[in-house]
């Protein structure tokens, strides 16, 4: 038998280890999650749209995997606490983030974050989206977006718009509206959408962009006046409303939600999770459950979700930086 020099031995050993690792990773992914208890981290309190998406995904994947899944509501600091938990958590697939739009905005809103939104979370799939609905208080003499803009230009600085807090998509919808329309309005931030909506209904504030599920029932009941949705095209969730973009071309704002895991998670696990999330998003019961909450199912690939996040980060980062919007 010929002698094998040390370099050749190490090269062969390394190749064998790599193949073994690949085989082990593939085998684990095939049985994933196996005996793991999988926790879905929702970075917002219960009952909101993020929570509804998180519980729908958790239940559907639990049934698909024939295992128990748990939803953890880890709210606070504009979703930073929940996102940080996953960004610094395990890499074995036992902890999954329900990704909010904050992943694309918070790095511009906060002076310092305890994690890197651009590198610590791997996007797996965009699960769902919904537009905001622009509504005005009863008694404001406008019935369309064009009339609202004309009124604002005739009364500069006299209109105010409510939001659920600085940096939310509800707030940023208003800021984008101001910029594209070339109008001046005063922002009135609240702690949460419910308080802001209550003041809109009572006439304490003039207008508000709010998530469709929260505000559309109030518009339908006649408590506020719905003008238009913020998506680029008419929403199947509220087909009777025109779009803001019909008056302001290029206006396009959606609240969206996805699934992500900590960077360093094995690619085989990411691939299986991606395939499984895309599969459940095609299920009729998942679509019906989200539709009942006025949420549209997406189910994108990891590649498409990552590209979407890059574009959202560019768009909102530019606006936030230009307007010098800061949370702290």
What phi and psi, each to the nearest 5 degrees, are found at residue 12? Answer: -65, -40
Tokens matching residue 5: 């020099």
Number of domains, the chain: 2
Q: Do 312 and 273 sit in the same domain of this protein?
A: yes
Q: Do 221 and 269 sit in the same domain of this protein?
A: no
Regarding predicted confidence, which is higher, 280 or 294?
A: 280
Q: Do 43 and 122 sit in the same domain of this protein?
A: yes
Regarding predicted confidence, which is higher, 169 or 273?
A: 273
Give residue 212's domain range.
131-246
For residues 324 and 306, give the distance between their C-alpha atoms in angstroms, rounded to a whole number. 26
Query: Which of 33-37, 66-70, 144-148, 187-191 shows the highest mean pLDDT?
Result: 144-148
Task: Kindly indicate the confidence band of residue 47, based on its pLDDT and cuts at 50, 70 and 90.
Answer: confident
**13 lies in a domain?**
no
- Confidence (pLDDT) at 12: 52
pLDDT at 2 over 50: no
Cβ contacts of residue 12 below 8 Å, gap of 6+? 4
Q: Do 144 and 241 sit in the same domain of this protein?
A: yes
For residues 173 and 117, give the distance between their C-alpha atoms in angstroms, rounded to a whole number. 22
* 186-189 vs 160-163, strand pairing mode: parallel
DSSP line for 247-305: TSTT---EEEEEEEEETT--HHHHHHHHHHHHHHTT-HHHHHHHHTTT-EE----HHHH
Q: Do 101 and 157 sit in the same domain of this protein?
A: no
- Confidence (pLDDT) at 25: 53
Number of H helices, E strands in the chain: 11, 10
Task: Give the Cβ contact number of residue 94 at 10 Å.
Answer: 16
The model's pTM is 0.86
CATH code for the domain of 101: 3.40.190.150
Task: Kindly indicate the confidence band of residue 20, based on its pLDDT and cuts at 50, 70 and 90.
Answer: very low
Residues 200-255 pLDDT 10s: 999 999 999 998 988 999 999 999 999 999 999 999 889 999 999 999 999 999 99
Residues 130-174 pLDDT 10s: 999 999 999 999 999 999 999 999 999 999 999 988 998 899 999
Of 227, 246, 265, the domain-final residue:
246
For residues 109 and 322, give the distance between their C-alpha atoms in angstroms, rounded to a whole number. 12
């Amino acid at each position: 038998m010929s002698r094998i020099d040390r370099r050749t031995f190490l090269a062969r050993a390394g190749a064998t280890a790599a193949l073994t690792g690949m085989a082990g990773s593939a085998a684990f992914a095939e049985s994933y999650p196996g005996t793991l208890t999988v926790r879905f981290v929702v970075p917002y309190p219960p009952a909101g749209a993020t929570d509804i998406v998180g519980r729908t995904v958790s239940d559907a994947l639990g049934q698909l995997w024939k295992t128990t899944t748990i939803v953890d509501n880890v709210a606070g600091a504009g979703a930073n606490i929940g996102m940080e938990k996953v960004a610094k958590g395990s890499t074995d697939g036992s902890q999954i983030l329900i990704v909010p739009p904050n992943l694309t905005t918070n790095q511009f809103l906060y002076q310092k974050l305890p994690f890197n939104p651009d590198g610590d979370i791997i996007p797996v799939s965009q699960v769902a989206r919904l537009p905001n609905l622009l509504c005005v208080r009863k008694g404001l003499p406008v019935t369309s977006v064009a009339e609202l803009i004309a009124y604002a230009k005739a009364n500069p600085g006299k209109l105010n718009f409510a939001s659920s807090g600085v940096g939310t998509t509800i707030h940023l919808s208003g800021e984008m509206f101001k910029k594209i329309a070339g109008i001046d309005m005063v922002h009135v931030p609240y702690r949460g959408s419910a308080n802001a909506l209550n003041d809109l209904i009572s006439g304490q504030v003039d207008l508000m962009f709010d998530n469709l599920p929260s505000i559309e029932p109030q518009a339908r009941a006649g408590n506020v006046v719905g003008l238009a949705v913020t998506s680029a095209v008419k929403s199947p969730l509220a087909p009777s409303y025109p779009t803001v973009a019909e008056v302001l071309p290029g206006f396009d704002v959606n609240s969206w939600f996805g699934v992500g895991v900590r960077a360093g998670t094995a690619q085989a696990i990411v691939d299986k999770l991606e395939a499984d999330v895309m599969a459940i998003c095609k299920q009729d019961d998942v679509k019906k459950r989200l539709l009942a909450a006025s949420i549209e199912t997406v189910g994108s690939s990891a590649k498409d979700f990552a590209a979407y996040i890059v574009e959202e980060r560019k768009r909102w980062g530019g606006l936030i930086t230009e307007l010098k919007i800061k949370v702290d």
